[in-house]
Structure 1
Amino acid sequence: MRSFQVINGYNGKGLTIDLTSGQIEEFNLAEDVLTSYLGGRGWGAYFLTEKSDPQIDPLSPESLVVVASSGLNGSGAPTGGRFSLIFKSPLTGTICSSNSGGFWGNTFKRTGFDVLLIKGKAPTPVYLYLSENKVELIECPELWGMSIPELTAHLLTKHSSTARVLGIGPAGEKMVLFASVMNDLGRTCGRGGGGAVFGSKNLKAIVVEGKKTFSPAQREKYQTGLYQANKLLRSLPVTAKAFSLLGTSGLLKLVYQHDMLAHRNFQDTYHAPENIAKISGERLQQTIFQKARGCYNCRIRCTRLTRVGNLRGEGPEFETISMMGANLEIYDLPTIAQANYLCNDFGLDTISLGNTLGAAMELFEKGFLSPKDTEGRNLSFGSQNLLVPLTKQTAFRQGIGDLLAEGAHRLTLKFKAPELAMVVKGLELPAYDPRSTLMQALGYATSTRGGCHLKGGYMISLGFFGGSREVDRFLIETVADHVVDEQDSGCVADMLGICRFAYFAFSENELSRIYSGFTGVDLSPDDLKKAAKRVIQKEREFNLLAGIDPSQDTLPARFFEEKIPIAGQKRNIDREAQFNHMLAKYYEIRGWKK
């Protein structure tokens, strides 16, 4: 490893924080760590594989959490404010990289530090305060039990209105296995249970205040890249208009029209058109919409600020409407929005919650769950009146919520029907039925954090918004190549802190110019992709050592065995002729063994 050298655009420093002893130590980031892993997800993969035992209990004091700024935080890169949390997931046992937008990540980097390595368990609840002049662990038993809005208001009052707060709500404290870590009130590191890991460590929050600025090393190259990226964002209809007008909920009709929208725990994708109209982006705009908002340096502005009666909040986003609405046969937007507000307030992943509720409803309808298990309630699909109370019960592990808090895989195992868990490697699937696009099917199966449309390669970008790159979603021969390419591009975005929606418009060509101009380190588009392959290989190695073997690179049996109407004919995924063929090709490209 080469000697320490600060590279422009980075701080070159990190902190190791032992919550058990309260000791905080500063360390330097070596040049090859900076440029080989770039930031965000990349640093998480590096530090977790180098400094953590893959077989560790994720909720033990010895487990490691990496909080990583990204390579283009602090720059003018469009949407370049995302940061990452990386940890071993208590839900899946895999390495889990979960990132978030908002403003926290950019402010964190401006404190003068790039990365935090957090281990141990504090004797009493604490939060970390971090600025350019001060690093301090502060005991806060009085904050334990606070919701995210209460926590944020308290810490901003105590410190400064310019501070940014990352923290957990009651769900994280109760170690709900899919508890999220929230920042800027409504932004979330949602997947994999990072909130439970924070809760297991008695870590309530991380507060950052920073004003450090970064100047580009090669201004002309940097500005050329910015100009090209912004021009492309302005020219693509989905990033220039669609998301800003309707937010992510504008995807609902599109996904429905392609027979992809999950229904009744993925039993089919049929929804009556009039029901889709009730929960569409257009209906949200007409009824509960208040204001649009964007994350750091974002012209897309897909965030929806909404109001239902006296309640206000962010969202619901497409995935929330889909998984906590359409998937459950609940077509009432105000009810979905209220449950979404609670997920933000208490710190719950809406995808996992909606998926797990779908599993519970199917368990109930098929007789595995009895009224005794549900406290006398009829937990059938369409039980609109139960969505809000079940969300509360899950966050606080009360009644049946204690079972739901374990996620779909453990819930269905308990009731001896694991085939009803729509999960990959233990992670609940999002809204896209894989029978409707073979690319997404392979992406789910090979994602290093489990059933994820983002880490699996956001294939909707090629299926719907690819323009000249648009790909037939049922074409077998090229699926593996496209999935590998999209996964690698997604990893580049996660390392540099770029929103996946921006990737609809631009790619590594523009990002290589921005990064090279910002840092002075000349990396080509191919160099960025090589870094991504390096990171994904690290994640794969961690998972193998953690006991996640290649047999788990698959899908729930439902998608192989049950045919549903899609694109004018009944389809499932042929395990041998389609899936195994695609998977073998994917392994060949990655250089992986079965």
Structure 2
Amino acid sequence: MKYGGYAGKLLRVNLSTETVEQQDTSDYLPEWYGGRAMAARIAWDEIPPGTSAFDPASPLIILTGPLTGTAAPFSGRTTVCGISAQGYPVEWYSRSSFGGHWGPELKHAGFDGLIVTGRAPYPVFLKIENGTCTIEDASQLWGMGIYGSQKKIMEQYGKQWRVFAIGPAGENLCRIAVAATETESASGQGGYGAVMGSKNLKAIAVHGTFPLKVANPERFAEVCRLVLKEAHGSHGWPHTAELDPVKVQLFGQRYQACTQGCAVKCYDARFYTTVPAVLQRGKTLSGQVDCIAGLFPGFKESFYNWDLGFEAGFEIGQIANDEGLNHWEILVGIVPWIRFLKQDGVLSSIDGMKIDLDNPEFWAFLLRGISRREGEFRSALSEGTVRASKILGLGEERLKQLFPAWGYAGHWDGHGDRINYVFFPYWIVTALQWAVDTRDPVSSAHGYGQNIMGWSRVCSPEHGLDWNTIRKVSARIYGTEACADPESGYSGKAFPAWWHGQRSVMKDSLTVGDQVFPRIYSNKTEDHFAVAGDMEGPSFERHMFTSLTGISWTDKELEHASERVIQLERALLVRNFNRSRADDESVIPYFEMKEQQTNPFIGNRVALDRTEFKKVMDEYYDLRGWSRKTGRPTAGTLQKFGLGKEAEDLGDLIVEED
């Protein structure tokens, strides 16, 4: 292999013909440098118009990045791409990702990723070890949960194996089904667990011992040391996470890295070893609670104020994990929607059971029924909340309060998502990100709104920065203080959305943790701009990449390669799904509701101004080189990114110049 960091091979598995082939990763390098970037190239070449999520020919693309499996801090994630079963109003090309140790293990087994097509005639799993891949019978695993499936495979082959599996939700083609590894590292959004289920693919088990080459070992080690030294607390924020002494004593709470390369004590991720079960009396449970899963117990004095208590909430979270269900959809979408319907007097019971969000038996009944398509109402919810509303003819107005677009519940948008604290004007950037994406964009786009709010004294009163410092540091990245000024309104919001678009691709392609990168703000420098050695914070990822691989790109060259991915993804959406500005603008009504939080400099809750937002969209399209009228890349833009052939293929669907 010419470059460091890469295993050197891709697996191509056709389950219909039961054949396994290997391809050189170098076929896509360096232009399509890993993960999401490489997947975009594969998708354009191999997903023709008319392909649906459950079409056997539809490729399931699972790829690591060059940093995966190395010593790079906060690396180790795996990117999943393909036609999304969760997507609405159409199933279109999208993406997801997951952490844990599966991706690094795949790299050490000799593969940078795999592309799975076809449908097996019976349930199967893939067994990948040190340069080989075989298709194995999974009939004995079918019907089992994700935990049981992993345990069964590890009992047969050894505890050192890593397993990526689906539960009953994926088997039953539930559109909100996840695929997951370990206790809570899931490809959560997109419904890719159902895509695996449609292929009769129960699991992918990996084990490897191959080393990975490093192009410049001394420089790579130094860069990793400096990046690690500069690291702050959880989410890259200034505060330090702490354990709960009571939960440590009662439930064995401890810190848990959600991904192989995580290097700080996380605010979200916790592992518990001794939690008494409530539904399964006499049983002691263990497992991880990460991200939104902390909502399962409920929070008094909040929008999510059901009262299960910790033990029952933990158990319900473990049931959701084992069944293979999307936590975000459940906690930010389904359950709030059901509660709205109950409050409105529209719904009092579901499939014969009284709605009681304080009762763990109701939650277990709800979740298991969704994953197994039991009962009319729960079977409809298997299609996702948005589709369920249409099927049942219920709650469409309430739905609009929770779901911005594309079949996904709100996330860091100041409106439907009440758990994350962000106010106007920062959610203007989030609205732009939602507008031009195919899914909840924030899986790899926390870098703007979350970063600013987390570093402000609103969310970090003891260690945060004053607004003047945030404005000045932000201007070094975005070019103007207006991009981060709490009183700036719509001014300066297009550029951060454009810039963080590239950073999203970068994180999903290298791969590194979204919560930490890009590094912008710091409490370890005099001016509070992140710096480590000879590197500025936004360049950390590039320095790790170049010293590892030997691909001597500059910051601008890596950013250009990342924007090329956005251009090709958009071209694919235009060719296969006729994507246009009209689709992008469908998010506007959601944001025209008044926000949930109040900007202290304004003093009242703000709603989106349609006219002003359309001007920001114009600015964004200009930065991307897309037509203001159609929202599509121009032929000239595609040619600028070396995509002239793709521009020819699009023909009359795009214009030469705007």
Q: TM-score, normalised on structure 1?
A: 0.86
Q: Which residue of 2 aligns with 1:559?
A: 591
User: 1:417 offset after TM fit, Å?
Assistant: 4.1
Q: Which residue of 1 aligns with 2:362?
A: 386
Tell me, what secondary structure is at the counterpart of 2:289?
coil
Structure 2 counterpart of 1:495, which letter?
A: S
Say whether residues 1:9 and 2:5 are aligned partners.
yes
Tell me, what secondary structure is at the counterpart of 2:443?
coil
Classify 1:28/1:152 alpha carbon distance in 2 versus 1 (closer, same or farther; 3 Å): same
Tell me, what secondary structure is at the counterpart of 2:330?
helix
Distance in 1, Cα, partners of 2:542 & 2:343: 52
Q: Is the 8 A contact 1:319 1:431 kept in 2?
A: no
Q: 2:558 pairs with 497, 510, 528, which one?
A: 528
Q: Which residue of 2 aligns with 1:305?
A: 271
Structure 2 counterpart of 1:363, which letter?
A: L
User: 1:432 offset after TM fit, Å?
Assistant: 4.8
When structure 1 is superposed on structure 2, of 414-423 and 69-78 the one drifting more is: 414-423
Q: Is the 8 A contact 2:298 2:313 kept in 1?
A: yes
Unaligned runs of 5+ in 2: 277-282, 416-421, 457-464, 475-483, 520-529, 531-536, 632-658
Tell me, what secondary structure is at the counterpart of 1:453?
helix
When structure 1 is superposed on structure 2, of 386-395 and 402-411 the one drifting more is: 386-395
User: 1:47 offset after TM fit, Å?
Assistant: 0.9
Distance in 2, Cα, partners of 1:175 & 1:526: 42
User: 1:426 offset after TM fit, Å?
Assistant: 1.6
Say whether residues 1:481 and 2:487 are aligned partners.
no
Classify 1:491/1:20 alpha carbon distance in 2 versus 1 (closer, same or farther; 3 Å): same
Superposed CA deviations along residues 98-153 of structure 1, whole A, max 9, x for unmatched, are 11111110010111111211000000000001111431000111100111121111
Q: Which residue of 2 aligns with 1:445?
A: 434
Q: Which residue of 2 aligns with 1:464?
A: 454
Superposed CA deviations along residues 14-62 of structure 1, whole A, max 9, x for unmatched, are 121110110111122335x222121111111221121112431101211
User: 1:461 offset after TM fit, Å?
Assistant: 1.3
Q: Is the 8 A contact 1:41 1:86 kept in 2?
A: yes
User: 1:394 offset after TM fit, Å?
Assistant: 1.5
Q: Is the 8 A contact 2:143 2:168 kept in 1?
A: yes
Q: Is the 8 A contact 2:178 2:325 kept in 1?
A: yes
Distance in 1, Cα, partners of 2:568 & 2:171: 30
Distance in 1, Cα, partners of 2:359 & 2:581: 38
Say whether residues 1:18 and 2:11 are aligned partners.
no
Classify 1:102/1:69 alpha carbon distance in 2 versus 1 (closer, same or farther; 3 Å): same
- Equivalent pairs counted in the alignment come to 552
Superposed CA deviations along residues 473-500 of structure 1, whole A, max 9, x for unmatched, are 5632112211222232122111111111
Superposed CA deviations along residues 426-478 of structure 1, whole A, max 9, x for unmatched, are 22223652472324532452352322323455420133237544623563211
Q: Which residue of 2 aligns with 1:164?
A: 162
Structure 1 counterpart of 2:336, which letter?
A: G
Classify 1:448/1:558 alpha carbon distance in 2 versus 1 (closer, same or farther; 3 Å): closer
Classify 1:325/1:35 alpha carbon distance in 2 versus 1 (closer, same or farther; 3 Å): farther
Q: Is the 8 A contact 1:79 1:499 kept in 2?
A: yes
Tell me, what secondary structure is at the counterpart of 1:472?
coil
User: 1:301 offset after TM fit, Å?
Assistant: 4.1
When the two chains are superposed, the root-mean-square deviation of aligned CA atoms in Å is 2.7
Distance in 1, Cα, partners of 2:518 & 2:297: 26
Percentage of matched positions with identical amino acids: 22
Classify 1:282/1:562 alpha carbon distance in 2 versus 1 (closer, same or farther; 3 Å): farther
Structure 2 counterpart of 1:412, which letter?
A: S
Q: 1:343 pairs with 320, 330, 340, which one?
A: 320
Q: Is the 8 A contact 2:444 2:514 kept in 1?
A: no
For 1:258-277, list aligned pairs within 5 A: none
Distance in 2, Cα, partners of 1:432 & 1:348: 23
User: 1:558 offset after TM fit, Å?
Assistant: 4.4
Structure 2 counterpart of 1:316, which letter?
A: V
Distance in 1, Cα, partners of 2:604 & 2:538: 38
When structure 1 is superposed on structure 2, of 288-297 and 426-435 the one drifting more is: 426-435
Classify 1:142/1:491 alpha carbon distance in 2 versus 1 (closer, same or farther; 3 Å): same
Classify 1:558/1:156 alpha carbon distance in 2 versus 1 (closer, same or farther; 3 Å): same
Q: 1:245 pairs with 237, 242, 245, which one?
A: 242
Classify 1:519/1:563 alpha carbon distance in 2 versus 1 (closer, same or farther; 3 Å): closer
Q: Which residue of 1 aligns with 2:61?
A: 66
Structure 2 counterpart of 1:120, which letter?
A: G
Q: 2:42 pairs with 35, 42, 47, which one?
A: 47
Classify 1:237/1:323 alpha carbon distance in 2 versus 1 (closer, same or farther; 3 Å): closer
Q: Which one scores higher on RCO, CA 8 angstroms, separation ≥ 6?
A: 1
Say whether residues 1:501 and 2:531 are aligned partners.
no
When structure 1 is superposed on structure 2, of 16-25 and 389-398 the one drifting more is: 389-398
Superposed CA deviations along residues 401-431 of structure 1, whole A, max 9, x for unmatched, are 2122111211222325433323211222236
Q: Which residue of 1 aligns with 2:567?
A: 537
Q: Which residue of 2 aligns with 1:263?
A: none
Tell me, what secondary structure is at the counterpart of 1:36?
coil
Q: Is the 8 A contact 2:248 2:254 kept in 1?
A: no
Q: Is the 8 A contact 2:100 2:182 kept in 1?
A: yes
Q: Is the 8 A contact 2:235 2:516 kept in 1?
A: no
Compare CA radii of gyration and give the structure with the larger one: 2
User: 1:218 offset after TM fit, Å?
Assistant: 1.7
Tell me, what secondary structure is at the counterpart of 1:141?
coil
Distance in 2, Cα, partners of 1:474 & 1:314: 43
Q: Which residue of 2 aligns with 1:511?
A: 541
Classify 1:49/1:418 alpha carbon distance in 2 versus 1 (closer, same or farther; 3 Å): farther
Classify 1:44/1:369 alpha carbon distance in 2 versus 1 (closer, same or farther; 3 Å): farther
